[in-house]
Amino acid sequence: MSIETPPVSFNKVSSTCLKTLKVLQINLGRTKAANGTLHPTSDKFQSDLLLLQEPYIYDSQIKGIPQSWNIFNSISNKAAVIIPSRQLHAALISCKQNTVAVKIQTGQQPTTFISAYSSPYSNIQETLLEFQEIISSLPREKIFNGAGLNGHNTLWGYSDVDSRGTAIEEFILANNVFINNSSDAPPTFTRNSSKGWSDLSLCTQQIIGEIANWEVLEEPSLSDHHYIEITIDSSVKNCTFTRYKTRHGNHNIFLRNLKPYVNSLLRAFRNSQNEKDINEATNLLQNCVIEACNKSYRTKNQNLSPAPNWYTQDLEIEKKRLKALRRRAQRASQDQRNARFQFHKEELKKYMRKVKTAKNSGWKSFCTIATNPYGTHYKSAFRKAIKPAELIALNNHDPSGNHLKIAQDILAKIFPHPANSNSSTYIPPCTANDCLFTKGEVATVIHHLSKGKAPGPDGIDNIIRQQIFKKFPFLLMELFNTCLKLAKFPDPFKVGNIILFHKHGKSKTEASSYRPISLLPTIGKVLEKLLTQRLKFHLEKNNRLSNLQCGFREGRSTEMAITKLLDTIHKW
């Protein structure tokens, strides 16, 4: 869908935020303690993306991880993709029973990351078929899959071949997929003296040249499986909208920086004779305010996921001791190996208890030192965080392409074009012109608009707009009155950021399961409110509204509508 938009002042910054992608793959074995190691381990290795199999699930949620992390689960919750980094923006491509796939914009071409799991007691063909459907829907695209398939084959380390390993090998050959596991790699699964290579890393031909490193880590995971670190040489481009720290002062500096532009802006507003002129003048206003803000205010930085406050240096020392004990057990002679592995197992249990105690004491101290009883600790414990949804590939839509194509598919579904798009010429009515907006009228509207609302694409929030009107009231009044004379609403005020919120319990691949919210420019909201007040006054004064309408009218409520309904029923 191609949409013709007017020139708009987007206050955004485009940058290459990551030179390489660091991916961690792990089977957590459905253990709560293993979930608890995700945060400190991800922070230690600076991981950008986590591919999980068998995470610990309670109340249909993965427990033990920060609420700020973006989580994408399979339907069975046996596979998950987690993005700790706020610099990465993913689009959900597929959510099936045993697999989940997300797409990240990397370099010139996006990369799809898949997490899949197949229990050793289930039919592996079901998981392989889901993986094949994703590959078929994304031809010639970069795909990486971290999978726990539980199949034996000599290609990835086992000394024997079973039926599951044969099925995996046939799938790899049939779909031109490559294995990143090497035959001489350390085992990804150990339990006492037994070992295995059940965790596989697969990728397509388009990304094989970008895999810089694949390594099984010795980092204790508190699970029977080990962490696998994958480094991908592919830059990630990020685009963020600038937000200013306007609550921290510097307003006088801003007004001094804006003052040189005021006269030229006034001339542009007064010389506007048609729709094109007022659009250009409005765009000039936004650019001047943005330039003055850049010289005056500090910008808000995106908060990265902080390190867990409960993870202490003592726990790190204990973790290194466990790694040394495990290495000694592996190198021990045959007659001492079982005893050393048993000793390592006992020490691992003690470490798990220390981790649990540290997490509980850290939360207790965090709540104890809080001065506000309804502060951060209260919100994290009792308030459910509702985050904006990431992009999703809709059902019956082609999931190939970049994020822009996926976003356009969503917009076309939520906001379809009208069937009849014949533009008609606007003919002004033969009525008396409205009187111009007064200073008191504009001041009342600005005063009652909330200061905490998010700004639009230009980054001009309500505090900045209030400071402009406080120092240069004639500037905004000239703009609004010019729009009133021309009977035109400037096009730059019609463009906003659309954010989607997922409706709880709804399908993630349907457009109707998301509630769109549009963040519009704040200066345009003032003009909207002024026009709405004039329109309401005209309708109420001339008695043009039905007496039965109670919604969206001052002094009326649903109780009045119910009372009128009951009166009508009693009369009959």
Lowest mean pLDDT among 292-306, 331-345, 376-390: 376-390
Share of the chain above pLDDT 90, in %: 41
Residue 2 is assigned to a structural domain of this protein: no
How far, in Å, are 121, 264, 267, 271, 442 from residue 475 at the CA level? Answer: 72, 10, 10, 14, 12
Residues shown for the chain: 572
Same domain, 282 and 204: no
d(CA 205, CA 138): 13
Q: State how many domains the chain has.
A: 3
Give the three-class secondary structure for 423. coil
Q: Is 443 left (phi over 0), alpha (psi -120 to 50) or beta?
A: alpha
Same domain, 284 and 335: no
Hey, what amino acid is at 323?
K
For the segment 205-232, the average pLDDT, to the nearest whole number, is 91
Does the pLDDT value for residue 429 go beyond 80?
Answer: no
Q: Could you say which of 184, 202, 234 is where a domain stops?
A: 234
Residue 424 is assigned to a structural domain of this protein: no
Residue 158 is assigned to a structural domain of this protein: yes
- Whole-model pTM: value is 0.80
Q: What does DSSP say about strands 142-148 and 199-204: parallel, antiparallel, or unpaired? A: antiparallel
Beta carbons within 10 angstroms of residue 44's beta carbon: 14
Residue-level pLDDT at 463: 93
Residue 380 is assigned to a structural domain of this protein: no
Residue 498 is assigned to a structural domain of this protein: yes
Lowest mean pLDDT among 339-353, 428-442, 450-464, 553-567: 428-442
Answer with the residue of higher pLDDT: 235 or 290.
290
Share of the chain above pLDDT 70, in %: 92
Residue 7 is assigned to a structural domain of this protein: no
CA atoms within 13 A on the CB side of 433: 10
Same domain, 79 and 224: yes
For the segment 235-250, the average pLDDT, to the nearest whole number, is 82
Residue-level pLDDT at 303: 56
Same domain, 289 and 218: no
Same domain, 46 and 156: yes
Joined together, the tokens standing for residue 21 give 């992608």
d(CA 413, CA 555): 37
Same domain, 221 and 247: no
Reported as a pLDDT band with limits 50, 70 and 90, residue 17 is: low
Residue-level pLDDT at 301: 73
Does the pLDDT value for residue 426 go beyond 70?
Answer: no
- Return the sign of the alpha-carbon dihedral for residues 339, 341, 345, 346: positive
The string of pLDDT tens digits covering residues 34-61 is 888 888 899 889 898 999 999 999 888 8
For the segment 279-297, the average pLDDT, to the nearest whole number, is 93
Residue 307 is assigned to a structural domain of this protein: no
The string of pLDDT tens digits covering residues 169-201 is 999 999 999 999 887 888 999 887 788 999 999
Q: Could you say which of 179, 203, 234 is where a domain stops?
A: 234
Residue 513 is assigned to a structural domain of this protein: yes
Domain of 142, CATH number, reads 3.60.10.10
Whether residue 90 contacts residue 387, with contact meaning beta carbons closer than 8 Å, is answered with: no
Give residue 94's domain range: 20-234
Same domain, 173 and 251: no
Same domain, 78 and 155: yes
Whether residue 238 contacts residue 14, with contact meaning beta carbons closer than 8 Å, is answered with: yes
Phi, psi (degrees; rounded to nearest 5) at 340: -70, -40
In whole numbers, what is the pLDDT of the chain averaged over residues?
Answer: 86
Same domain, 227 and 245: no
The string of pLDDT tens digits covering residues 318-366 is 888 888 888 888 788 888 888 888 888 888 888 888 888 887 887 788 7
d(CA 146, CA 165): 16
Lowest mean pLDDT among 5-14, 105-114, 281-290, 319-328: 5-14
Does the pLDDT value for residue 423 go beyond 60?
Answer: no
Whether residue 54 contacts residue 30, with contact meaning beta carbons closer than 8 Å, is answered with: yes
Same domain, 175 and 281: no
Same domain, 208 and 273: no
Same domain, 113 and 29: yes
Does the pLDDT value for residue 370 go beyond 70?
Answer: yes
Whether residue 224 contacts residue 248, with contact meaning beta carbons closer than 8 Å, is answered with: no
Q: Could you say which of 234, 250, 265 is where a domain stops?
A: 234
